Amino acid sequence: MIGSVILFDKEGTGYYVSMPLILSLAVISAGFFLFVVGAAIKARRRPVVSGEEEMLAAEGVVIRDFVGSGRIRVHGEVWNAESSVPLKSGDHVRVTAVDGLVLKVQPKEN
């Protein structure tokens, strides 16, 4: 805005930039800047929806009985899982850790 005001010397050359034009462009620029910053802050506060962080604390269902390692369904996908306790088909589990493509799980507490 300051650059626009001092761009031309009004008295010297007779050329100048209209003050209403300068003010309207400054308001539009400030509004756009505030919108972009607000959208960035809002996106940063959203919960994680993908990746390893999202899998932690996710809930799944055991597909077949297993002791030690087996398969579970989480978010509609079948995953290899490991558990320190025996699990039965249909048991609900909670993911506690992710090790590559293997999920560490524990029985879900009701």
pLDDT tens track for 24-77: 999 999 999 999 999 999 999 988 777 788 888 899 999 999 999 999 999 999
Domain closes at, from 45, 61, 77: 45
CA distance 66 to 83: 9
The helix or strand, by DSSP H or E, that contains position 30, with its residue range, turns out to be helix 19-45
- The average confidence (pLDDT) of the chain is 88
User: Are residues 60 and 19 part of one domain?
Assistant: no
Report the pLDDT value the prediction gives residue 72, as an integer from 0 to 100: 96
* pLDDT range class, residue 110, cuts 50, 70, 90: low
User: Are residues 35 and 60 part of one domain?
Assistant: no
Amino acid identity, position 91 = D
CATH number of the structural domain spanning residue 83: 2.40.50.140
| Residue that wins the pLDDT comparison between 59 and 17 | 59
User: Are residues 87 and 102 part of one domain?
Assistant: yes
Pair of tokens at residue 1? 């805005």
With left for phi above 0 and alpha for psi between -120 and 50, is residue 38 left, alpha or beta? Answer: alpha
User: Are residues 70 and 31 part of one domain?
Assistant: no
User: Are residues 74 and 97 part of one domain?
Assistant: yes
pLDDT over 90 at 87, yes or no: yes
Q: Could you tell me where the beta strands, DSSP code E, fall in the chain?
A: 59-62, 69-74, 77-82, 92-99, 102-107
User: Are residues 93 and 58 part of one domain?
Assistant: yes
User: Are residues 28 and 68 part of one domain?
Assistant: no
Asked if 61 contacts 90 with a C-beta cutoff of 8 angstroms, the reply is yes
User: Are residues 95 and 59 part of one domain?
Assistant: yes
User: Are residues 97 and 76 part of one domain?
Assistant: yes
Report the pLDDT value the prediction gives residue 12, as an integer from 0 to 100: 67
Count up the domains in the chain and report the number.
Answer: 2
Range of the domain at 26: 2-45
Pair of tokens at residue 76? 């509609």
User: Are residues 66 and 95 part of one domain?
Assistant: yes
